[in-house]
Amino acid sequence: MVKQLRSLRRVLRQGPLIVLALSVSLATVSPAPAQSLTDRFKGLFGGKSDEPAQPKPAPAPGQPAADDDVDCPQVTVRAGASTYAVGATGKPATGNEVRFQATITKMARECFRSGGDITARIGIQGRVIAGPAGAPNTVDVPLRIAVVQGGVGEKVIASKAYRTTVGMAEGGSVPFTFIAEDLAYPVPSAAVADSYIFYVGFDPQALTPEPKAKPKKK
């Protein structure tokens, strides 16, 4: 019993030294640098961890600075829009008639606030695989990104179509990364902000040229 008391006294005497050492150690730890959107995508999309971090670029004149406190909705793939297959001319995209198929594998997002609007940057990573019918040298991938207020009656707040061109390699399987930087929508009220969500997916209509506006009659 006496030996145990002596041991306890020695630990208590060393306590202040341990606390002091811990304080010094914490004081020498430098804060982690802020990650740019590209760095975040590299981490999320499996980029090399030993690549040096790039400094966060300054916003362009007239553009808002990044706001880490802004409420940025989660991003997910719209049901039924995670794949995009194209068949041979005049043929359905099934079996041996498939020329290529694109899939979405990962997403990331970042939000900025400027006045009463939020501008979102949405990153999409996917892959294009050549099919039995043979893929062309380049493939146009149609994408759509939307911010939606979920709930019983789903409401589309903003939606925009995009397209990116992917060069096919001899191996027949090519990854692609696309970043949309201009999806803007009004800042939601606190009552509905948690119900907002970003939907991404393939949309073949994005490849269709928009109809030209009819000239106004004089």
The string of pLDDT tens digits covering residues 21-60 is 333 333 333 333 344 555 555 554 444 333 333 333 444 4
Beta-strand pair 196-202/74-77: parallel
Residue indicated by tokens 């990331």: 108
Q: What is the pTM for the complete model shown?
A: 0.67
What pLDDT, on the 0 to 100 scale, is given for residue 163? Answer: 93
CATH number of 81-206: 2.60.40
User: 204 pLDDT exceeds 70?
Assistant: yes
Q: How many CB atoms lie within 10 A of CB 172?
A: 13
Q: For the chain, give every domain's residue range.
A: 81-206
Least confident among 68-72, 120-124, 139-143, 210-214: 210-214
Query: Average pLDDT in the 62-71 region?
Result: 55
What does the alpha-carbon distance between residue 163 and residue 140 come to, in Å, rounded to a whole number?
7
| Nearest Cα to Cα of residue 87 among 100, 105, 102 | 100
Average pLDDT over the chain reads: 76
What does the alpha-carbon distance between residue 134 and residue 131 come to, in Å, rounded to a whole number?
6
